[in-house]
Amino acid sequence: MSRLVTRAPAKINLTLHVLGRRAGDGYHELESLVVFTGSGDTLSLEPGPELGLAVSGPTAGPAGPLDDNLVIRAARHLARLRPGLAQGSFHLVKRLPVAAGIGGGSSDAAAALRLLARLNGIASDDPDLIAAARATGADVPVCLDPRARMMRGAGEAIGPALALAPMPAILINPGVPVETAPVFRALGLSVGQRLGGDPHPEIPPHAALDVLVRALVPARNDLEAPARHLAPVIDAALGALRRETGCQLARMSGSGATVFGLFGDRRQAARAARRLKAAHPDWWVTSALLR
């Protein structure tokens, strides 16, 4: 079989409510509306006898040791569940920032599982594929089929795909990696403790963009405050977005430090992205269509 290729888009948490820490396993229980960009990293698989990985691209340097990469971890988890699994050599073109709150590594891992499923004739809803995704990381299952949906629990409860209006947006990463674990620790929740707060708003399906944005405004990202304390530059990125004409909502994604701004149309977002790039050449700034 010839080389297989797929994209690994950025995952954006439009909302992220932390409900508390579960008494049984101590994991933080979440409720999050997740959407995806149209572009991101690219992963290819050349079938062959040996499992391997090469990484290139603008953000390849911070991607970490190859043997610990989530692409390799995902492939090994699936191979343990499927003895005799056909594999090969992966090539990852890394464009998304690392430790950025946009699920770059998780999306790469999910892309690896999709390619291995195609190579081996494994159905997209096969229990082994889903189990390998869960074993690899909490955000990997929602990235297997990168479409808008609710994610609950510790990432294991994935809702059906949602037909949301495409959302013109700007993504900014101010160049500071933020590790997830310290942000959750900064919440200070003990096992069994509930965080409280207003319930997650209902997300209207098939709604126009303005209706969707109004529904999102009362929601929140409960990790934003602790992440801003750990990385104050997040405040600067949010402030820059909110000062741009046409920005309807600015919020942090995941555990940071990437922030997003939703705009009324794509031209507004593109113009604002050009201004922000010029004003902050050391930031990663891109316009995107979220869906």
d(CA 248, CA 264): 7
Residue 199 DSSP symbol: P
Rounded mean pLDDT of the chain?
Answer: 95
- Buried b / exposed e over 226-235, threshold 16 CB at 10 Å, is bbbebbebbe
Prediction pTM value: 0.95
CB 99 within 8 A of CB 3: no
Residue 66 pLDDT exceeds 80: no
Query: What residue type is assigned to position 78 of the chain?
Result: L
The residues carrying an active-site annotation are: 11, 139
pLDDT value of position 104? 95
100 burial level (CB within 10 Å; 0-12, 13-18, 19+): buried
Instruction: Give the pLDDT mean for 164-191.
Output: 96
Report pLDDT digits (tens) over 179-206.
Answer: 999 999 999 999 999 998 999 999 988 8
Residue 111 pLDDT exceeds 70: yes
Backbone angles phi, psi at 244, to 5 degrees: -80, 135
pLDDT value of position 22? 96
d(CA 192, CA 219): 23
Tokens of 89: 């050599």
pLDDT value of position 248? 97
Instruction: Give the pLDDT mean for 82-89.
Output: 98
Report pLDDT digits (tens) over 11-39.
Answer: 999 999 999 999 999 999 999 999 999 98
For each of the domains in the chain, give its residue range(s) and CATH number, in order of start: 4-158 (3.30.230.10), 167-290 (3.30.70.890)
Report pLDDT digits (tens) over 262-274.
Answer: 999 999 999 999 9
Residue 61 pLDDT exceeds 90: no
Instruction: Give the pLDDT mean for 60-71.
Output: 79
d(CA 10, CA 195): 28
d(CA 30, CA 195): 11
Mark out the alpha helices in the chain (DSSP H runs). Answer: 70-81, 104-120, 127-136, 140-143, 180-187, 209-216, 224-230, 233-242, 266-279
